[in-house]
Amino acid sequence: MTAVELNAQIWRDMGILADNESMMKRVAKFLRKLVAEKQTDPTEFSKEEFFSKLDRAEREIAEGKGTRFTNLEDMHTWLNSL
């Protein structure tokens, strides 16, 4: 089914439900969930995840696992390799 066909089908189905307030509320709730799912940034993480990553990085640095650079060019080379 093409996007145009899907759009038409959705509008036909919505027309059937339009006079039933409880069903329209359910549809609206479901649509809000879908919109929120689409708008979620996959690179975002929670406060707990952020501090967990920070703690892990601090432990790795204390263990000598960090990356050190002697000059700016080396740092840029390493960053560009990511």
Report domain extents, the chain. 3-39, 47-80
Q: Label residue 60 left, alpha or beta by phi (over 0 means left) and psi (-120 to 50 means alpha).
A: alpha
- pTM for the structure as a whole: 0.46
C-beta separation of 58 from 50 below 8 A: no
What pLDDT was estimated at residue 38? 83
> How far is C-alpha 54 from the chain's CA centre?
20
Q: What is the pLDDT along the chain (82 residues), one digit of tens a residue?
A: 899 999 999 999 999 999 999 999 999 999 999 998 888 777 888 899 999 999 999 999 999 888 888 999 999 999 999 8
